[in-house]
């Protein structure tokens, strides 16, 4: 265990891509066990780690989001959000949050949200008088709504690996995602006068709201269809994702006429790259995960937690601290794949509902996307906007604390998470 730990953290510090770090660390552990016939299991474990039908949903959801971005459909969501809340003090910041909720129902990815709004809303906010670090902080805070509200790629991974209902996880993410939006809008309102945030125009008329709604209707239909078909038992997540791609292609290519063959090639190439990275991490983590299971490391960690306290609330608090700290230094997909088999049995031992435990783990890792030093959304925004991560982080703290408060509510108030799944009988 010590040798594997040294190799794992040593390679991370040296900057090796996390997928290769996981694979090499797992191989070192297997060689230390004696190699030989154990090494013959490595290709089989890598294939088995990916041989799950629900994983097919991920590239489809990613591709649908790429189409919506490239065709300009996303901009209609932004315009509708701006009509709804843009008239308030800090109006464009509020619009950013509301648009993140709408966009989340299409892509399920935080980095896609950060890239899209970093290119569009951040420059618009700066032009209207917001500081660039604050505009980036608002975008980073809203971006984690993406992998919380369905369709969440993390929910697909967690549900597939742990045998938990993906539809149940999708439903469980709705209220926490909306609560993140509301509490971040409260932070913006509280900071409005102190930071002298720009105030929007007068309240829009009902006619303007209806006009903006009509303009965004084609985009709004997609998340409603995805969620409705899954929760209603009409389609599996994979089937809903594939239909979402067909719908996005039809709207973007036929109705909006904003796509050409070059765009299609570039979007497919980007989807393949993103999916390839995720699948490499999953396949490599399967090697390390098998080694950990063979050596009963999950049981050892669970016993260590229970030896500190057998109080369920104390154990939940320790799990949250562990996830938030590790998420600061590791890719969240890798963290989920490694720790889910360790923590899920522990949550069952203390009586947590599997769906409740899953959404708690997912939300804790989502928050890690906006925490330094390796928060993926921070790097995306820094790259897109040319703003330093340090400046973004300084403006981000109020939002980070607010979202941690939501995480605590999710963790210690099960009904908040389970209300919607129970409503649909999931």
Separation between Cα atoms, residue 235 and residue 214, nearest integer Å: 27
In a 10 Å sphere around its CB, with 0-12 CB exposed, 13-18 middle and 19+ buried, how is residue 319 labelled?
buried
Q: Give a yes or no: residue 371 inside a domain.
A: yes
Task: Identify which of 33, 42, 47, 56 has the alpha carbon closest to the alpha carbon of residue 240.
Answer: 56
Q: What is the pLDDT of residues 146-187, one digit of tens each?
A: 788 887 888 888 888 888 988 899 889 999 999 999 999 999
Cβ neighbors of 246 (< 8 A, separation 6 or more) are none
Q: Give a yes or no: residue 86 inside a domain.
A: yes
Domain that includes residue 256, residue range: 19-32+40-423
CA-atom Rg of the chain in angstroms: 22
Q: Give a yes or no: residue 11 inside a domain.
A: no
Flag residues of the chain having pLDDT under 50.
Answer: none
Q: What is the pLDDT of residues 131-141, one digit of tens each?
A: 899 989 998 89
pTM: 0.81
Q: What is the pLDDT of residue 34?
A: 66
CA atoms within 13 A on the CB side of 406: 32
Q: What is the pLDDT of residue 91?
A: 83
Separation between Cα atoms, residue 292 and residue 43, nearest integer Å: 17
Report the SS3 class of residue 317: helix
**143 near 108, Cβ under 8 Å?**
no
Q: Give a yes or no: residue 181 inside a domain.
A: yes
Dihedrals phi, psi of 330, to nearest 5 degrees: -130, 155
Q: Give a yes or no: residue 6 inside a domain.
A: no
Q: Give a yes or no: residue 2 inside a domain.
A: no
Separation between Cα atoms, residue 82 and residue 89, nearest integer Å: 12
Other C-beta atoms closer than 10 Å to the C-beta of 234 total 11
Domain count, the chain: 1
Separation between Cα atoms, residue 423 and residue 71, nearest integer Å: 35
Separation between Cα atoms, residue 64 and residue 308, nearest integer Å: 46
End-to-end CA distance of the chain: 39
Q: Give a yes or no: residue 7 inside a domain.
A: no
Task: Calculate ∠ Cα 306-312-314, nearest 5°.
Answer: 75
Q: Give a yes or no: residue 9 inside a domain.
A: no
Q: What is the pLDDT of residue 307?
A: 79
């Amino acid at each position: 265990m010590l040798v594997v730990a040294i190799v794992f953290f040593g390679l991370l510090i040296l900057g090796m891509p996390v997928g290769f770090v996981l694979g090499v660390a797992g191989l070192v552990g297997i060689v230390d066990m004696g190699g030989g016939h154990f090494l013959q299991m490595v290709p089989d474990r890598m294939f088995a780690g990916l041989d799950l039908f629900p994983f097919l949903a991920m590239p489809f959801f990613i591709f649908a989001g790429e189409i919506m971005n490239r065709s300009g459909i996303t901009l209609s969501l932004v315009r509708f959000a701006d009509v709804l809340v843009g008239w308030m003090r800090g109006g464009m910041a509020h619009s950013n949050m509301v648009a993140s909720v709408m966009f989340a129902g299409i892509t399920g990815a935080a980095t896609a949200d950060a890239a899209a709004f970093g290119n569009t809303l951040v420059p618009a906010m700066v032009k209207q008088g917001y500081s660039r670090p604050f505009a980036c902080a608002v975008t980073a805070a809203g971006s984690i709504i993406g992998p919380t509200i369905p369709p969440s790629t993390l929910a697909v991974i967690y549900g597939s690996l742990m045998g938990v209902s993906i539809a149940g996880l999708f439903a469980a993410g709705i209220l926490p995602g909306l609560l993140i939006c509301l509490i971040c809008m409260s932070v913006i309102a509280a900071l409005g006068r102190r930071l002298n945030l720009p105030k929007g125009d007068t309240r829009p008329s009902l006619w303007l709201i209806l006009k903006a709604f009509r303009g965004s209707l084609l985009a709004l239909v997609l998340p409603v269809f995805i969620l409705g078909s899954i929760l209603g038992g009409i389609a599996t997540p994979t089937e809903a994702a594939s239909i979402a791609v067909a719908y996005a292609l039809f709207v973007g290519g036929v109705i909006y006429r904003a796509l050409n063959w070059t765009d299609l090639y570039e979007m497919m190439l980007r989807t393949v790259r993103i999916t390839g990275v995720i699948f490499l991490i999953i396949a490599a983590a399967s090697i390390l995960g098998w080694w950990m299971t063979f050596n009963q490391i999950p049981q050892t960690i669970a016993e260590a937690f229970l030896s500190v306290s057998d109080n369920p609330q104390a154990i939940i608090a320790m799990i949250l601290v562990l996830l938030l700290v590790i998420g600061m230094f590791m890719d969240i997909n890798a963290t989920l794949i490694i720790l889910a088999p360790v923590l899920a049995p522990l949550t069952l031992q203390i009586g947590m509902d599997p769906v409740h435990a899953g959404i708690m783990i997912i939300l804790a890792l989502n928050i890690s996307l906006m925490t330094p030093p390796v928060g993926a959304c921070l790097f995306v925004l820094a790259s897109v906007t040319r703003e330093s991560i340090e400046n973004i982080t300084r403006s981000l703290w109020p939002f980070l604390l607010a979202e941690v408060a939501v995480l605590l509510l999710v963790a210690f108030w099960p009904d908040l998470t389970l209300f919607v799944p129970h409503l649909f009988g999931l």
